[in-house]
Amino acid sequence: MTNLSQNLLAHESSPYLRQHKDNPVHWRPWSRAALDEAASAGKPILLSVGYAACHWCHVMAHESFEDNEVAAVMNRLFVNIKVDREERPDIDQIYMAALTAMGEQGGWPLTIFLTPDGQPFWGGTYFPKEPRYGRPGFIQVLEAVARTWDDKRDELARSAGALADHVRSRLAPNTDIVAMDAGLLPALAESIQSSIDQVKGGLRGAPKFPNAPFMYTLWTSWLQHGVPAHRDSVLSSLQMMLGGGIYDHIGGGLCRYAVDDRWLVPHFEKMLYDNAQLIELATAAYGATGADLFRLRIEETIGWLQREMMLPEGGFASSLDADSEGKEGKFYLWTREELNAVLGEADAARFLSIYELTAPEGWEGDPILHRLSSPELGEADADPFFIEAKQRLMAERGHRVRPGRDEKLLVDWNGQAIAAIANAARVFRRGDWLELAQGAFHCVAESTVDGRLPHSILGEDRLFPCMSTDYAAMINAAISLSEATGSREYAAKGRDWLEMLDRWHADEDGKGHYLTASDAVDVPMRIRGDVDEAGPSATAQTIRAMLRLSMLTGDDLLYGRTVTAAEAALGRIAQQRYGQAGIICSAEQARQPRKLVIVDDDKKKLVTEANRFPDFLRTDTFLDVGEGAIDRVELPGGAVLDTTRPGAWLCIGQSCLPPVHSGAELADLLRRPAG
């Protein structure tokens, strides 16, 4: 048995865990060995879950985990386990579901107490060392939980077992399939639409999250059913968040959320997944409107990824901290005096004619830079003065102490970023962006061992086994790169990863996949991953990956499996109260898939026209005139593919529209929503 009087985090692959390696707490990483220690010692487990960019995780660490007095109590009473939720989303989802089932509000840091065999019996989120914010002090909590464990161990064990059964029934339910219904998406979209803040964008109230699954739902409703109000809600929400303080107007990129109801005051951590989804949605918005606002924000955000998030090996880092020098947002904030010093008083005044500095009531930091009063771009934005002023401020900001960067490469988040950048590269005809996406793709692809993807990469370290989301995201990335390059190699790689997904994650009756691999020996239960978080759920991503691969390759058997997986997922979420948007959107896409096949000559006029109209519901295949493609590409419904001259076939569901042969005809076809 490992010595319980040691902190064992120093050699972990997670930067977040390594942040805690010098704590006086005797931390161990989540593992089968840690659970066995708890069982041998007969001690309950204190499980702490967080992530590197989490502000309140850092606060609790400084107040309690670095404190010798608190650590002594923790070490005496508990076996203490630390989890990086980004490395172990399966563990995080299990215990976050347990916390919400207890009637507590979820969030991070997650602080939850478990029986020695890993079953949850009580928990919370952030606890201060001393009583405040209406919360008890952490030492009081520790001692009270330990007393209750000693006095009522059998009772707690029984209730913990019942809670674990409840969580299992929610996260891995056995239900009948539900046929794909054309009414599911419209009903959900209308429900979301009724909650949209029509003035400020996003959902009404505070805090305001980008909530990509809801934005995808409204945009899918527009694409499938032609509801203009749903399109407009996405456009206005994007416009307002991109004008708010949640967006970094100097360096590009979106912060995780705004704490207020108008996108002004950000929680300053920057996450790769939020910005990948921003690029995807803004690309769709640009295709629909041609608005320069979306083009510029995409350029700035991809520029930020290249400048601040690229790893030496070629992929993208996970996140940037909210804090620097011990203060939230310090790196990003400006005073009027600082603007005057950098730009000069006259130029600073001119700069602030379209930008604003605001320090709202209750905000303790320096003012926040935003442009909520003028979120739309105007003539001034093309003025070289404003471009140069931002460059000067960027150069000055470069001398500040930077927020910490979580250096680990998460495969699923990188897959999302690769797909989004590849799609943007098509729309804006940016070969440099395509090279960026290809480089990140090859970085991940070269990290496999025996064909299996890792979940996390840090230098030479690889974390196996991966999650279903890793395969799904990288399959989607492969398809996006296949569309952008025409290379069949990407489709072949996607097929290889689908085989790995099926081998290690498929369920017992062939109706879907689990989030965790079959050889993951340290999970208390295998869960599906049906619930959306900041992005679509694992199940939604796998359904979409299977569907797009079936459309790209013309694999009817795979399409049939996709429909089965979608119907099984709909059955599982029938009674789910929230987080089901991703599955409903992916099921709608499977119910009525879109496939575009283009045969083009060396002038590529049809391909160029198709790239002007991005549609994340559509899968595109591009062929050359005269290519022997009939054996490689099949059209639904028996439609005949003619490769002797340029033409485009748009297929929706199991039927294809008549082919078009000119760029103007194709543009007219693609700019219209299906409804």
Per-residue pLDDT reduced to its tens digit, 82-95: 999 999 999 999 99
The token pair at 373 is: 């009063």
pLDDT for the residue 675: 56
The separation between the first and the last C-alpha atoms of the chain, rounded to the nearest angstrom, is 64
Q: Strand order of the sheet with strand 79-84?
A: 27-29, 79-84, 45-50, 110-114, 120-124
The token pair at 443 is: 């970085």
The whole-angstrom separation of Cα 571 and Cα 566 is: 9
Span(s) in the chain for CATH 3.40.30.10: 15-171
Q: CATH assignment of 15-171, given 3.30.70.20, 3.20.20.70, 3.40.50.2300, 3.40.30.10? A: 3.40.30.10
| C-alpha of 375 from chain center | 25
Asked whether the beta carbons of 6 and 48 are under 8 A apart, the reply is no
* DSSP string across 287-345: HHH--HHHHHHHHHHHHHIIIIIB-TTSSB--EE-SEETTEETTTT---HHHHHHHH-H
pLDDT for the residue 136: 86
> Hey, what CATH topology would domain 408-591 get?
Glycosyltransferase (1.50.10)
Span(s) in the chain for CATH 1.50.10.20: 408-591
pLDDT for the residue 630: 45
Give pLDDT < 70 ranges for the chain. 1-4, 628-632, 674-675
The whole-angstrom separation of Cα 418 and Cα 439 is: 9
